Structures are given as structure tokens and as C-alpha cells.
Chains A and B, each alone.
Chain A
Amino acid sequence: MSTLLQQVLNGLSLGSIYALIALGYTMVYGILKLINFAHGEVFMIGAYAGYFGAIGLGVERYGAAGFPLYLALVVLVLAMAAAALLGVSIELLAYRPVRSAPRLTPLITAIGVSLFLQNAAMLVFSPNPRPYPPILREVRFELGGVIVTNVKLTIFVVALALMVGLNWFIQRTWTGKAMRAVSTNLDAARLMGIDTDRIIRVTFAVGSALAAAGGILFGLDQIMISPLMGVLTGLKAFVAAVLGGIGNVRGAVLGGLLIGLAEQLTAGYLSPDYRDAITFVILIIILILRPEGLLGVVRPEKV
């Protein structure tokens, strides 16, 4: 029983990272109908931005005393801002020029951008994995037979706070309302006087910032980061978005948590070898049984 609880807890904390990344996929897809392949790399660059931010703020000097909380928040905000800038530049340089081209063109462009960022990162940061700086000093405590660490709790709380913030942004602000309008119908939204280019920019900025937060949390959780970390994690987050119903913000959160849980339970009860494979099994099943995703609505394709 306590092992089950333990796996569920770990699964939820991992799943909330996937959910943060999945939000970026789902928002961009909702508006542009584009699988933003470079999103996994934005997540990776976000993790590196956090790494260099923490080193730059002298995380080593604090030693056993631990990194002050306000500095940890500064690192988080800096990394999110850097990733937002990166996301917006990718959109401006690579996606905007091909926005009206046939569908395959932006897809290939996105794959190209993703490859470029991976390999540029390997040249700049070196291909070797790096240990993540101790932004948070791990404290373990036991709760009813389950080992809880403050890192896992922080991951869960930060992710939850960001998602609540996003929900407020989308539901309560004018920009959020415009985002929903653009995602429903881009042309109609433009006719209503919405600056669609600006909304697309905002979408990329918000999605990328969330991915960067996911990157830092991932670094805290897995201790190591590497230039190729975005490939598999990005893929899993995309599957999470599809599972929840791509284009659906709440679906992405649900999908992320479910994928995280499935992965941890597979690793715990079947074999750790299958932890990556289970995601694709889920993807195939969902594509066969319910391609619109759990919370998605069936929208017939129209001419």
C-alpha cells in the first residue's frame, strides 16, 4: 500500500512537469494547428537557462545553508523570460514566414528548428549531462510510510500555481479571451479587430515560459540535464496533450498527470525498461479508440 502511494506521489510530481510542457503544445496547436516540434528544445534551453542563472547568482557560495528562496524565484523568472524570448523569436523567424504555406512546410520547419537547437546546444553546452545546481536543498520526511521530499512537493506546488495562473489568464483577462477567440476561429477573430499576430506571439511566450519552468523542475527532480533531454520528454508531453485532447488546456493538465502516473506505475510494477515505451502504447491506443482525446470534442473536418 505504501509503495503504491509512493509511486502515485512520484507519478503526480513527474506528471505535473509533463503537464506544464503539454500546455505549450496544446495552446500552439489550438491556434495554429501546428505541432511545435521545437517545444521540447525550448524546455531544454529553459533548464539550461536556470542552470546558468543559478550558477551566476552564486549557488555554490551558499553551501549547506541552502539557496535563499527569493533567489530561487529570481532564477525561475529569469529562465521563464529567456525561454519566452526564444519562443517568440522562433515564431517570428521560422513559423511566421511559412504560416500560409501548405501544412507540410511548417511541420518540416518545426522539425528543422528542433534539430538545430538540439545540435547547437550540444556544441555550446557540450553533449555531456551536467548535474543540476542545488537550487533547493533536499529534505526528506516520512508521512504515513511514504517518503516525501520537499523537492517533489515544490514541483507539485509550483506547477499547480502556474496552472492556476494560466487558467486565470485565459479565462479572466482580455488577452486570454482573445486567445480563446483566435483558437476558435482565427479569421473571424481577425475580422473582429483582434491583432492575431500579437495573440500568437503571446501564446508562444506563455507556452515557452511554462516549458522553462518545467525544465527547472525537471532538473530539480532528475538531478541531471543534457542537450537531448527535450526529445523524449517533449514527446511524452505531446502524447499527454493528445491524450487530454489537443487544443484543450484542461485536457493537457489531465493528460500530463495521467502520463506521469502511468510511467511511474509501469516502472514500479512492470519493469523500468518499459517506462518510456508505455507512453507510446498509450498514444497508439488513444489514436485507435478516441483520437479526439479524453476531454476533446469531435470536430468533423470541413472544407
Chain B
Amino acid sequence: MQALRRLATASAIALVLYGVGLWLSDGLIEYAQRIVLLAGINVILAVGLNLINGTTGQFSIGHAGFMAVGAYGAAFFGVKLAPIFARVLGAGAVAEALTFNVALLIGAAFAGAAGLLVGAPSLRLRGDYLAVVTLGFGEIIRISFNNAQFLGAATGYFGDSPAGLPAYTSFFWVYGWAIAIVVLIRNLTFSQTGRSLAAIREDEIAAEAMATPTTRLKVLAFSLSAASAGIAGGLFAYMQSGIRPEDFRFDKSIDMVVMIIIGGLGSISGAIVGGVFVAVTLELMRDLQQYRLVLYALLLVGIMLVRPEGLLGNRELPDLVRGWLRKAKIAK
């Protein structure tokens, strides 16, 4: 019965997404559509990063590197898989959808594996080492892609056809994946494992004394977080005709950190709000490009000094709204 209900909910969501997607592609100019898609991708990035930075309290500032691994993985394997799927299933929407999603998963697997590789040695130690290691990793990955000839080196990867990568990314897939990842991470956060992650954030030594396998859980959270950045990278890749190493510079990692800090470290709904906020402000500030990072930096320091827990802290929006409603009732 429950399985049936879940299936019904999922199909309803899919239907709504499909409808809204159709309506948007008719009603909005391309520029606005791009912002809507970027907002969805940002939500995936922010919620994923929040799992390690917010919930677990280990700080990564190189997530653009994992996004890059996912983007290149998905782009490369998508291009190679497309003819195979087209031959088996016949060219058409089904083959394309399958290619796209398999490619995304492959990209995510690579990103997750990279997370494991980076996280395993550094997460045995105190959290601040992770910041340094991820910072270094983000740069190394970018330099590697810059030198990888089979991925187009510095000019970027555009697939095998002169038209560039196919435009698989649509409203339906971006928000479908965003909802799936948000639900997955929400369920994880409020599970027993999630409680252990929060315990690590609050006091690692105490958590260890309570027999929490701290290193294993930290590495798990970090790999999951890297994998979701990989999905976001894949979606990002198929949004344009190609990807360049320049797309994944350090600024991108900082954008992600800003997203989760605005919303509040540890809050999933906060991360969603932050992701959308950054997508919109980035577009609004396009003319102020050179001031962007100065403003972001001031914002970071300012929030830390005035309200270090971010706008929402680690509370969730629905809980807050419920609280306000209750208060309003009492006041009456």
C-alpha cells in the first residue's frame, strides 16, 4: 500500500514537472530559462555540499573539482554511449533519456570515487585539513583537465560532433534530479546515520566515545556530497555545447559555500533558498562582475561575525512556519 502511494506521488511529481517544463519552454525567453535551470543545478550543489559542510561540520572548499569530474565524466561517456543506446533502442527520445541518465550516473560515480580518494586520508584528521586538501584538489583537477588532450585540454570538451554536446538538460530532468537528491539527503539527515553525522559536528570526541564510526561516516558523507556535485556537473555540461576547465574555477567552489552559508549551515531548506538566491543574484550582478567576489567575501565575513549560523541556522523552513503559526494562534 505504502509502495503504491509512493509510486503515485512520484508519478504525480513527474507529471507536474513535465507540465511546468512545457509551459516554461513556451512562456519564458531563453535567458530566463537558463536562470531557472541554473537555479535547479545550484540547489543540487548546495544541498549536496550542505551534507558535509553543514550537517557533518567538515569543511570542503573544492567542490568545483568534483563538479568538474562529474561534468567531464558524464560528457565523455554520454558521447561514447549515445550511438550504442541508439542502435539497441532505436534513435529517439527513449534512447536519449537513457543515455543522459546513465551518463549522469557515471559522472556521479567518478565524482564519488574522487571524493573517496580525497576524503579517506584527510578525514581521519581534524576537519580543517579537509579544507586545505580540497582546495588543493580542486586546483589539481582543473590543471589536469587543462592538460588532458583527449578531453580537449584548455579549449574544452565538445563531444565528437561539430555541433557540440547535445542539449539533453531540460527543466524536467534538472528538477527531477533536484527533488530526488533533496529527498535522499533529507532522509539520510533525519535517519540514525544523520544523527551520527550531527553528533560528529557537535563533538567528534564525544561521538567517538559513543562508538560512532566517525571516520567511516565522514568519508561516506563526503563521497555522497561529491557524487551529488557530480550529478550537478553532468546537468551543467549538457546545458551548453561544451565544458571548459575554466568553468570550474575556485570561484565556483566559493559560490557554493556562499549558497549554504546564506541559508544556514545544516539546513536543507536553507541550502535550497541559498542556491536559488545565488543563481538569481549572479545574473543580476553580471555587470558588476569584478566586484562580485569582493561582495561575496564581505558577505561571508559579515555573516560569520553577525549571525554565524546563517539566516536559518540548522532549522528547516517548514518547522519555522509551523512555529510562527502556533505563536500567532496563541497571540489570538
Q: Which residues of A contact B (CB under 8 A)?
A: 35, 37, 94, 97-98, 101-109, 111-116, 118-120, 122-123, 231-232, 235, 238-239, 242, 273, 276-277, 279-280, 283-284, 287-288, 291, 301-303
Contact = CB atoms under 8 A, between A and B. Distances in A.
Contacts of A122: 290
A104 B300 contact: no
Given A273-B147, A280-B137, A111 B61 contact: yes
B206 A111 contact: no
Given A97-B305, A283-B133, A303-B205, A111 B257 contact: yes
Contact of B301 (A113, A242, A302): A113
A115 B293 contact: yes
Contacts of A232: 139
B140 A280 contact: yes
Interface stretch (B88-96, B124-132, B168-176, B182-190): B124-132
B131 A107 contact: yes
B57 A104 contact: yes
B122 A287 contact: yes
B127 A112 contact: no
Contacts of B290: 119, 122-123
Given A113-B297, A115-B296, A119-B297, A94 B132 contact: no
B4 interface: no
Interface string B47-58: 000000000010
Given A106-B304, A119-B297, A291-B124, 14 more contacts: A94-B301, A103-B127, A104-B59, A104-B265, A111-B131, A114-B297, A115-B254, A115-B300, A116-B297, A122-B290, A239-B132, A283-B132, A302-B205, A303-B206
A129 B291 CA distance: 19
B199 interface: no
Interface in B226-267: 250, 254, 257, 261, 265
A231 B143 CA distance: 15
Interface of B: 57, 59, 61, 121-122, 124-129, 131-133, 135-137, 139-140, 143, 147, 205-206, 250, 254, 257, 261, 265, 290-291, 293-294, 296-301, 304-305, 308
A269 B176 CA distance: 51
A105 B125 contact: no
Contact of B136 (A104, A114, A235): A235
Contacts of A98: 304-305, 308
The list of the 6 closest CB pairs from A to B, nearest first, reads A112-B300, A116-B297, A115-B297, A112-B301, A119-B293, A280-B136
B140 A277 contact: yes
Contacts of A116: 294, 297-298, 301
Contacts of B137: 280
Contacts of A37: 131
A233 B132 CA distance: 13
A12 B139 CA distance: 25
A102 B204 CA distance: 12
A112 B128 contact: no
B132 A235 contact: yes
A273 B59 CA distance: 29
Nearest to B53: A104
Contacts of A280: 133, 136-137, 140
A108 B261 contact: yes
Interface centre among B139, B261, B300 (most CB of A within 10 A): B300
A35 B132 contact: yes
Given A98-B308, A107-B59, A287 B297 contact: no
A122 B292 CA distance: 12
Contacts of A276: 139-140, 143
B211 to A, nearest CB: 16
B265 to A, nearest CB: 7
Contacts of B261: 108
Nearest to A109: B304
Contacts of A107: 59, 128, 131
A114 to B, nearest CB: 8
A107 B265 CA distance: 14
B250 to A, nearest CB: 8
A293 B57 CA distance: 24
B297 A112 contact: yes
Contacts of A104: 57, 59, 127, 265
Contact of A105 (B131, B139, B257, B308): B308
A101 B303 CA distance: 13
A238 B121 CA distance: 17
Nearest to B292: A119
A273 to B, nearest CB: 7
Contacts of B297: 112-116, 119
Contacts of A106: 304
Contacts of B122: 284, 287
Contacts of B250: 231
7 contacts: A35-B128, A94-B301, A112-B297, A116-B301, A277-B143, A280-B137, A284-B122
A260 B308 CA distance: 38
A246 to B, nearest CB: 10
Given A35-B128, A235-B136, A303-B206, A119 B294 contact: yes
A108 B306 CA distance: 13
A281 B294 CA distance: 31
Q: Which of A104, A273, A288 has the most CB of B within 10 A?
A: A104
Nearest to B57: A104
A283 B118 CA distance: 11
A157 B294 CA distance: 38
